[in-house]
Amino acid sequence: GESVGLHLPTLSVQEGDNSIINCAYSNSASDYFIWYKQESGKGPQFIIDIRSNMDKRQGQRVTVLLNKTVKHLSLQIAATQPGDSAVYFCAESGAGGTSYGKLTFGQGTILTVHP
Amino acid sequence: DTAVSQTPKYLVTQMGNDKSIKCEQNLGHDTMYWYKQDSKKFLKIMFSYNNKELIINETVPNRFSPKSPDKAHLNLHINSLELGDSAVYFCASSQQGGEKLFFGSGTQLSVL
């Protein structure tokens, strides 16, 4: 399959379970964080974002948690569905909005949802 | 009604050739980008343009030349293609340099 040889972190869940995908970042000056979903053969698709002045933000079935103390970001997906199967990327940006869209991406996590 | 569209979807070519990838966005955004995704799925910025002006050039070899004829278009021309250029290239756009990027579906470049 597509994931063979990629050696990305993987997460396998059953349909209906909750999923948690984790991301560590290194730049303490980062003030914007974003999660993308990338399905096979497609471009990254925006899921949810959060600024550093918040520690939690909720969307539809998704929640992003930010822990600036340990430089950790997580994406929680409630009631995971087979259509959620994809590679998930976290990305960060810094410098108070002057980065001009220069996102630094994490390595990606492969989420597989079993029916 | 695709927001960010790029062509071609697939590009297979020989080493040493010159090729171009085109990108258009209909979101009314000011800022456009090229990102490269390698075989390990790692995504890295190459260029960003704001209102047709080059803003970011991430030490990309000068064989890569972006061109922005207007703020809705950003094309990427690559001269003297090398094996290591094989990757998926993504165009993206955002509003006024904002960090929420909208990506195209990618161009898979294979250099033989």
Q: Is the Cβ pair B106, A6 closer than 8 Å?
A: no
pLDDT at residue A5 greater than cutoff 60: no
B84-97 residue pLDDT tens: 999 999 999 999 87
Tell me, what amino acid is at B66? P
Tokens 């929680």 found at = A76
Cα separation, B84 vs B68, whole angstroms: 25
Q: Which H or E run contains A66?
A: strand A62-67
pLDDT at residue B100 greater than cutoff 50: yes
B99: nearest CB among A6, A44, A101 = A101
Give the model's confidence band at B9: pLDDT under 50 very low, under 70 low, under 90 confident, else very high.
Answer: very high
Q: Is the Cβ pair B103, A44 closer than 8 Å?
A: yes
Residue A79 Cα, gap to closest chain B Cα (Å): 26
pLDDT at res. B52: 86
pLDDT at residue A50 greater than cutoff 80: yes
Asked if B56 has any chain A CB less than 8 Å from its own CB, the reply is yes
pLDDT at residue A96 greater than cutoff 60: no
Q: B11 and B111 in contact (C-beta within 8 Å)?
A: no
pLDDT at residue A1 greater than cutoff 90: no
Asked if B68 has any chain A CB less than 8 Å from its own CB, the reply is no
Chain A residue with CA closest to B46: the answer is: A102
Name B62's Cβ contacts closer than 8 Å, sequence gap at least 6.
Answer: none
Over residues A71-91, the mean pLDDT reads: 96
Cα separation, B110 vs B83, whole angstroms: 8
pLDDT at residue A99 greater than cutoff 80: no
Where do the DSSP E strands lie in A16-58? 19-24, 30-38, 45-51, 56-58
Range of lowest pLDDT (A77-86, A97-106, B15-24) = A97-106
Cα separation, B46 vs B57, whole angstroms: 6
Q: Is the Cβ pair B99, A103 closer than 8 Å?
A: yes
Phi, psi for residue B111 in degrees, rounded to 5: -105, 120
Asked if B55 has any chain A CB less than 8 Å from its own CB, the reply is yes
B31-55 residue pLDDT tens: 999 999 999 999 999 999 988 888 8
Q: Is the Cβ pair A32, B55 closer than 8 Å?
A: no
Cα separation, A105 vs B47, whole angstroms: 15
Residue B27 Cα, gap to closest chain A Cα (Å): 15
| Residue B62: strand, helix, or coil | coil
Cα separation, B88 vs B34, whole angstroms: 10
Q: Is the Cβ pair A97, B104 closer than 8 Å?
A: no
Q: Is the Cβ pair A101, B42 closer than 8 Å?
A: no
pLDDT at res. A94: 75
Residue B23's Cβ-side half-sphere holds a number of Cα atoms within 13 Å equal to: 32
Q: Which H or E run contains B66?
A: strand B64-70
Share of chain A above pLDDT 70, in %: 89
pLDDT at residue B107 greater than cutoff 70: yes
- Token readout for B90 is 């993504």
Q: Is the Cβ pair B43, A89 closer than 8 Å?
A: yes
Give the model's confidence band at A4: pLDDT under 50 very low, under 70 low, under 90 confident, else very high.
Answer: very low
Report which DSSP code applies to A59: -
Over residues B69-95, the mean pLDDT reads: 96
Asked if B99 has any chain A CB less than 8 Å from its own CB, the reply is yes
> DSSP letter string over B90-106?
EEEEESTT-S--EE---
A101: nearest CB among B4, B94, B106 = B94
Terminal C-alpha separation, chain B: 34
pLDDT at res. B98: 81
